[in-house]
């Protein structure tokens, strides 16, 4: 396979702001991204959800910009923009014509320095986020099960709460909470600026210095999140919900993004549940045993910074007892642990992993995202250049080994959906 090298250049301003640049003149566009090393892992009980709420607040205007004016200006100049919050980071980006790079830079620096934070914007965005939580989690078929899974699986680490936060915390967040979070998390020495596309590096660095160089760093040093203790026994729970379906969701503790075991775990995911030729599809879905059966992990660069969860779930077909289906799923995983899979399955998994990553690298946006997230999560944007070699180097022994190490009962947390009637549901406390 031909080597693909993203030759990011790294610079740092005197205030600690990191800048990653990659000149790519293949298309007359540029992506401008600002990644902050603050996500739900940097929260605490009482302010869960503040990272995601703050993402919304960043579009409420600044000293020089009215509410939503940021987006209108970018779109009027032929650009697109968005933002996202995860357990590890909050990221903002604009994709736009090359000659509009300075515009994006100026606007991002303006809201970083002069964000408008007041009670009105907090109250407005709080209700938007609470409605989003209700739509995506409370009223979704399995959102609350997944929340319970993480809450039980993690005793110590902040991965135990959802990115969107607990509703009781969202209701109580104060303006002072937001101001403190802004001062601590949205500082130049807690951010990485990424520029990829058709631009000139030296000119871009001059502009970054112009717009960001005067910002003061935050001297507060965040304590690292509590390290999760090794799990020494299966955890089980039930979730009662009005439902026509039976299902279980399980999570196995797995390593963080810096660990090389990430890649055989990705291959394991492909072998078991990627596509209609996967083992889970052929064994459970095609035969009518399950409506759906999946292994879920996030590929790099989206894999978690700290040790997270590899999820396994199955939704039983009508008439199939969920206990029987769960037992069959563990039997299918035992086959992998015993080495009962062949080189052809692994080769297909590796092709899928490499093809997906290479396709992503066709866009300047994904190139920037990969470099920025590796810099935030692993401290090294250069790790993006190891992904393809890591995928190519996976062996059957690697897959067998990680299955034996991580996919064991003592490392497992299981939440089972227990269907109840509407009458039974009325007797339970409401969930928000």
Distance CA 413, CA 312 (A): 10
With CA atoms as reference, report the closest residue to 296 among 421, 177, 140, 149. 149
Sheet holding 18-23, edge to edge: 9-12, 18-23, 191-197, 29-36, 90-97, 80-85
Distance CA 255, CA 423 (A): 43
Beta bridge partners of 293: 314
Q: What pLDDT shows up at residue 10? A: 98
Give yes or no for a contact between 49 and 43, defined as CB atoms under 8 angstroms apart. Answer: yes
Q: Annotate 353-421 with three-state secondary structure.
A: HHHHHHHHCCCHHHHHHHHHHHHHHHCCHHHHHHHHHHHHCCCHHHHHHHHHHHCCHHHEEEEEEEEEC
Helices (H), 65-185: 69-76, 101-114, 119-133, 143-153, 167-172, 175-185
User: Which portions of the chain are predicted below pLDDT 70?
Assistant: 1-2, 220-221
Distance CA 202, CA 402 (A): 45
C-alpha distance from residue 62 to each of 67, 107, 180, 307, 405 (Å) = 8, 10, 17, 37, 50
Q: What pLDDT shows up at residue 4? A: 83
Instruction: Look up the CATH number of domain 9-212.
Output: 3.30.830.10
Q: Answer yes or no: CATH 3.30.830.10 is held by domain 235-426.
A: yes
Q: What pLDDT shows up at residue 431? A: 87
Distance CA 183, CA 192 (A): 16
Give the SS3 label for residue 191: strand
Dihedral pair phi/psi, residue 334, rounded to 5°: -60, -35
CATH 3.30.830.10 range(s) for the chain read 9-212, 235-426
Distance CA 174, CA 57 (A): 13
| HSE of 56, CA atoms in CB hemisphere, 13 A | 18
With CA atoms as reference, report the closest residue to 387 among 410, 354, 416, 360. 354
Q: What pLDDT shows up at residue 67? A: 92
Q: What pLDDT shows up at residue 1? A: 57
Q: What pLDDT shows up at residue 2? A: 60
End-to-end Cα separation, the chain, in angstroms:
50
Q: What pLDDT shows up at residue 226? A: 85
* The residue to which tokens 């995860």 are assigned: 86
Helices (H), 134-174: 143-153, 167-172
Distance CA 193, CA 73 (A): 20
| HSE of 236, CA atoms in CB hemisphere, 13 A | 8
Q: What pLDDT shows up at residue 220? A: 67
- Dihedral (CA of 23, 26, 29, 35) sign: negative
Give yes or no for a contact between 369 and 301, defined as CB atoms under 8 angstroms apart. Answer: yes
| HSE of 361, CA atoms in CB hemisphere, 13 A | 19
């Amino acid at each position: 396979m031909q080597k693909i090298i993203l030759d990011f250049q790294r610079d740092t301003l005197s205030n600690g702001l990191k800048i990653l640049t990659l000149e790519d003149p293949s298309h007359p566009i540029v992506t401008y991204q600002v990644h902050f090393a603050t996500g739900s892992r940097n929260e605490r009980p009482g302010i869960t959800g503040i990272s995601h709420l703050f993402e919304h607040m960043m579009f409420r205007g600044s000293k020089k910009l009215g509410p939503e004016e940021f987006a209108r200006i970018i779109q009027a100049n032929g650009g697109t923009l968005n933002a996202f919050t995860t357990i590890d980071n909050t990221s903002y980006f604009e994709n736009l014509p090359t000659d509009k790079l300075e515009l994006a830079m100026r606007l991002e620096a303006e809201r970083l320095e002069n964000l408008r934070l007041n009670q009105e914007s907090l109250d407005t965005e709080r209700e938007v986020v609470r409605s989003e939580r209700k739509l995506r989690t409370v009223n979704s078929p399995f959102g609350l099960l997944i929340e319970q899974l993480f809450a039980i699986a993690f005793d110590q680490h902040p991965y135990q709460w959802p990115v969107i936060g607990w509703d009781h915390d969202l209701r109580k967040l104060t303006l002072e909470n937001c101001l403190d979070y802004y001062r601590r998390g949205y500082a130049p020495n807690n951010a990485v600026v990424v520029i990829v596309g058709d631009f000139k590096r030296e000119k871009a660095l001059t502009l970054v210095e112009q717009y960001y160089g005067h910002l003061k760093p935050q001297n507060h040093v965040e304590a690292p999140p509590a390290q999760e203790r090794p799990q020494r026994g299966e955890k089980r729970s039930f979730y009662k919900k009005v439902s026509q379906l039976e299902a279980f969701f399980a999570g196995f503790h797995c390593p963080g993004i810096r660990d090389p075991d990430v890649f055989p775990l990705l291959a394991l995911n492909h072998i078991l549940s990627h596509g209609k030729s996967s083992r889970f599809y052929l064994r459970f879905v095609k035969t009518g045993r399950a409506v759906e059966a999946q292994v879920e992990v996030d590929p790099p660069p989206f894999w978690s910074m700290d040790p997270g969860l590899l999820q396994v779930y199955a939704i039983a077909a009508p008439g199939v007892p969920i206990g029987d289906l769960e037992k069959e799923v563990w039997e299918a995983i035992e086959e992998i642990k015993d080495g009962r899979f062949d080189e052809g399955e692994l080769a297909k998994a590796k092709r899928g992993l490499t093809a997906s990553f290479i396709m992503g690298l066709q866009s300047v946006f994904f190139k920037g995202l990969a470099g920025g997230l590796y810099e935030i999560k692993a401290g090294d944007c250069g790790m993006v250049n190891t992904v393809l070699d890591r995928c190519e180097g996976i062996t059957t022994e690697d897959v067998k080994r990680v299955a034996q190490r991580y996919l064991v009962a003592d490392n497992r947390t299981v939440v089972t959906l227990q269907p109840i009637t509407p009458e039974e549901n009325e007797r339970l406390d409401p969930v928000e």
